[in-house]
Amino acid sequence: MKAFVEIAGLGKTYATPAGPAVIVRDFTLYVADGEFVCILGHSGCGKTTVLSILMGLVAPTTGGVVINGREIDGPGTDRGVVFQSATLLPWLSVRDNVRLALDQVPGRGDAEPYLAAVGLGGLGARYPRELSAGMQQRVGIARAFALEPRVLLLDEPFSLLDALTRMELQDQLAALWERARKTVVMVTHDVDEALLLADRIVLMTNGPAATIGRVIDVPFARPRRREVILADADYFWLRDSIVDFLEAEAHAGA
């Protein structure tokens, strides 16, 4: 596999009054162009730290990240980011929130096609306060895609939503990915979400000094439909395997 995103020997340590706190150690992962990877683990395992380093928001203590042959040293328009909450500017319309991304890249065009792609066509003049939480997160996804980034970085983007809205947006993201085939690295704690979306699932050990414990290839054909993969005999075997790993990590840290 030729790597498009190279994460090599990544580590992050913070100084504390009690001494160095090692959050992540020796995290090495290679992601192919157009691959969808989910990083999954318990809260506090360092998965968001890894993603923050990929975003360029946090500098690694050891190792580094190379995207398309260039080592990153900060945020960039080659990476689109979606956080847990939509992080929209409340005084701007939906259209203008998306335009914030479009304005970063000269000649990018109009916001409307990106809003239409997430099911918000015709709602560009509304303000965030007029939208549900799920609709606001759709705007956040539209804004990330508007950059036309080489890599999409998602930090548990559906974790704050109710179950029905979460499933709707998972299906929406899967459809968008099928059309655009962006390289995606997504942090999640939801096993079913990872099995629906990912080509590979990276399971992290518990912290402190968390690292990759196991990598699972997801075998389901694309495009995926939730009801089809749920009927696949491998689905529950894979799910149980992941849950067993997470439970073993929880007990090891107890």
pLDDT tens column, 183-215: 999 999 999 999 999 999 999 999 789 999 999
What is the model's pTM?
0.93
pLDDT tens column, 129-170: 999 999 999 999 999 999 889 999 999 999 888 999 999 999
The three-class DSSP label of residue 82 is strand
Return the DSSP state at 205. Answer: P
Which tokens go with 106? 């000269």
The three-class DSSP label of residue 6 is strand
The low-confidence residues of the chain, meaning pLDDT below 50, are none
Question: Strand runs (DSSP E) across 127-230, as ranges?
Answer: 151-155, 183-188, 200-204, 212-217
Which tokens go with 50? 């890894």
C-alpha span between 50 and 70 (Å, rounded) = 18
Host H or E run for residue 30: strand 19-32
Do 74 and 147 form a contact (C-beta atoms < 8 A)?
A: no
Q: Domains in the chain, please, with CATH?
A: 3-78+155-252 (3.40.50.300), 84-148 (no CATH)
C-alpha span between 176 and 83 (Å, rounded) = 17
Query: 205: closest CA among 155, 251, 158, 156?
Result: 251
